[in-house]
Structure 1
Amino acid sequence: MSKVRILAIDDDQFFRKLYEGIMLSEGFFIKTVDNGKEGKDLLKKEAFDIVMVDMVMPDWDGIRTIEEIRKISPKQNIIMVTNSTDLETAVEAMKSGASEYILKPINSDQLLDTIRRLINRDQILLEHSKLVEESVENFEILSTYKKCLDILSINDYDKLIDALVEAMSDETGAQKGLFWYMENSGKGEWKVLGKVSVTDMKNARLPVNYALWKNSVNDGAPFLWPSDGMGSLFVPVLNGENNSVVIQLYCKRGKRRFNERDIKTTAILSQSSETALKNAEKIRALEDSSIIDDNLRIYTFALFSHYIKKQFNIAARYRRPFSIVYLNIHNIKELTSSFGTDAVKEGIGRLVGRIMNVIRGSDIMSMKGEGEFFILLSETDYFGSIMAIKRIEDGIIGSKFISDGETSMLINLLITSVSYLKDGSNIDSLLTTAVQRTEALNESLFHRLDLPEKGLWESIEAIMSLDNESLSRENELSRARGIASVGGYPDFSNDFYADLCELFVDDVLSRPYLRGALFIGVDTVSPGTKLCKKIAAVNNLATRVFVIGKKGKGEWNIPNITPVYMKEKESPLNMIFFLNEETGYVFLGKKGKGKKVQSFHTSDLYLVEKLISRLRDHYLLQWI
């Protein structure tokens, strides 16, 4: 056997020297280059048994390098080398043509075992190739060899199951075939997988003399059962520690017997089938355990970051919006201390399950740390993210608690969102803003006044019940914690409120392209007011305008204003709720003596968002 030739492509000199030491100590020939292009050029001039490609390199990364090598050498053995934190990319590389993969840090024994396995496979394929050239049954063997290559090209486990049965049935003339599978080899039960008719599934049975049949399976070679060939041809494919696979072929066309040629053909196919199944199992295991969190069935943060990078590319190229929802269990340590890890995991799992039921199938949810979750909302702007948070909050009602059967504690779940460009133009700034916003959220007046469980009018009543001393104290707290200030003016007049309403309307009309929502409280909703006529004169407003009050006279005929009629027992209130992609503001005023009003105002964004959300629910509005 000639000396094994290895080409290693890695931009890191340390690993190039490491590979040289390992290969030379085994008597292998090795050349190293520091980039994919140079490696491709070298492959045009020289032949190598195996090419090792590092996943992360400048210019051509590992996947690009593999694709370029496949263009000039489709059958080249390629070992992809990747970091243990980059397993999602490893899956992509396996699908794009890598023969095997190994993880850094390099284990020399594992690397050499991988190389020997590929060399042995090449020897088998070489022997098959010689057999093709020498056999008088040239056409049939060529067909078998092609099926081997077809099998090796399939990485999807479910598709591979049916492909193996079909390939062996075609080559032997079997009209029926079953894929027998057993987990935990020797300990589990055999079951049939793949596309099988109801009748065949009902009639699927292993031989009565199971022990003798199992001995034949353990021998690893195809065998006839019974031995006269009129029964079934069994082809062992896998017989490892984890799983066992046997393909059963029966009902040969023309009521003929299976023969020695069928045994030899399926023996060839079984070798390729074993390699293909192991590769497919490896990819499936990577996708199941490395990409998705086993406990909560959501994506890991490493893959989430990968998706965000893709989303940034799409957003930058096509100007498409996206948002990120950040969820933080603020009292996770207290919950764990009180109930223990298992109870907390169960409660969080229930909570996450509820969330997964209400978000879209295209949304990506991940867990970063203890009690920290992110949801990527593609094609979603700032206002869409607010609606998503509302759906989440509605969906988790009744599940925000941890219990041990005797006592329970509420989960203090804080939810905020950030949107591309509005809150940041890169990943770090967006995620940092999300975390900072959650910290501010917990200090918001919305929580300090205990409003989360209150409806619209209960919340307004709680706010308006604050006296001047309380307002001053809340303002000092807000400023000290870096939150938007709050304030009140006991001597505002009704005329001032009218001027304030006109000021906000003018701002909306001066920038008709800016998306937003403006809610204005009036005594009587009528299309004939000065304010309504002013808004009606402008077309194509991106900001939705709502006028809220008792129903007045006149037929409503202003398309860019939505009238909202108060319920019978509700009293008109001077109020302005304003929200757009730049700012948020709330003004509340109630009449005092004479023309005076008592008032409250704030630009606390979280309080603004929540009050608008409650107003929307109370009056069943489609506000954006």
Structure 2
Amino acid sequence: MPRGRILAVDDQRYFRELIEVLLVEEGFEVQTCASGEEALRLLDHAVFDVIVTDLVMPAMTGIDLVQRVKERDPEQEIIVVTGVVDVQSAVDAMKVGATDYLLKPFDRATLSSALEGILQRARLRQERDRLLAENIEFLGERALFERAIALFRATTLEALSEKVLDGVCRETGAQGGVLWWQAEDAPAELRLLVAHGLVRLEEERAQLGAGELPQALRETGATTALVDWSDPNGLPRPALVVALRRGGALVGLFRLTDKLGGELFDDVDRACAEKFLSFADAAYRNVERFQRLERRTLQDPDTGAYRIEYLHDVVRNEIEKANRFGRSFSLVSLAIEPLAPLRKRLDDQAFRNWHGSLARYLARQLRATDLLAVEGEGQFCLLLVETAAVGAATFKQRTRLALGRGEPLAAVKAALRPEVIAGSVSYPGDATQHEALLRLLERRLGEDRRARERERRLAALPIGDALTRLIESGEGEPAPAVASLFQFAISEVGRRPRERNLMFCRPGALFADALAEGLRRRPDAACETELVVLADPLGVGMAEQGVTWLPADAVAGPPFAVHFGDGPSYVLVADVNGEPGHVRWFHSADRSLAESLAFRLQRELRVPRLS
């Protein structure tokens, strides 16, 4: 193996052949060129350890050659050869990049020694660079390892996901990142879980179906892909998407954007993301095992429901998520009471068995993402995720009916059978702090307990008669004043478009003008409130959009308005009382009454549920 590859450049054949003979005898591999131009052409496709060139040559001088070579490869080693009278030229050549110079005449030992010195320094430099690269790689691997170890300190899915998203953004230089994670109740759907950096949450999709995934991930089953992820304006946005899969199923999708410096993501970024997520996958599995263990530890052995302390911890975490992503959730408190008569008839073990069967029956009414906790005998608290006030009320109505018909209660003799008391609160409509939600939930449960007897009396009457019964406790009031309240109620529908509400009204002749004016004053924006009017359409154009019109005689009785949902609840019922210009009317903000009437009207009018 030659000691090194040398290129000798000299316009005089004698010196070219002399250098070639001397160096070959010393074990070097040598090629020669007669001019700088020829040397440059050779360097286009050949690599040499050292170039030895004469300074004084026609056309392209040695200094010119040194400059041209250094422009191509700043690391190229070059020795210039000159006579004693041209020492200054050699110094000039050193200034533009030559490594060393030799004076003519020189012998074999001098030339060989100069070359060996240069090659030895080059080898030392290469070894230094290799060690430096290894150290840099080691430091990078160590930093990656330390970040990966930190992932295993997280014990919740959300906390871990924030760490993972931050880490993968660091690894790839992304300034923005979003993670969608597999939904527990719909495994084929991914839901927005966390975001990081330059991301506008309000513009991100809350969920992704299989058909919305990038084509590269859908068709090939790849782990990473470089795609154009359209922004809300339809403009392409360069992105790196990374899929986390388990057994071929997609459990998480990371989307990274806005790489530092405005650069595009490349294959190196893909490799870095894949490597980091291989650690993250182990951390996710660890969190899942921890949560399974935690749930088993925090479950009540008699009922299988969670202990109330665990539910409160989950609610605090849910408040953080709901606040960050603009979502809602509800808490429902259920009390099965009185239990004392049943307690006296059953021995302790039989009662515990009955209570456990009640809890298991109740758990079957829940979605996979909901949570049931036991507070005491016959006392349960439920967390309904991504559920607003109307959805929670729907759940209460359905669950009250299901429990009444279900075996745990239906099997109890009528004289001993307890009833279901239920209260609910919603975030953020009712409160935004954990303690405030719990206080209001307790008050709502008490209100429902007190309202049960009234609801039983009203439920025994046709809906029209029940509304008339309410007026009996009302007072007289000038008709225009009551009509203005009815008009205001209609005009307020849609003021807060994100609120989900139910409103039923029957204007009759008394409030016909107030209805028309209220509809005209409504905001034009689409809203989540279901407005059902028992009257013929008024012909007021755009104002009637989003209104369900039903025949006025679909419900007999006096004019009324019932509103229930995320916004304030109220009931207004009025009728002419015989005194000119006056009406007898009933008005209440009782939430239990509004809820009961709204859902009774929904059932009897067969209006689709807003949940």
Q: Which TM-score band applies after superposition, normalised by the shorter structure?
A: 0.3 to 0.5
Q: Which has the larger radius of gyration?
A: 2
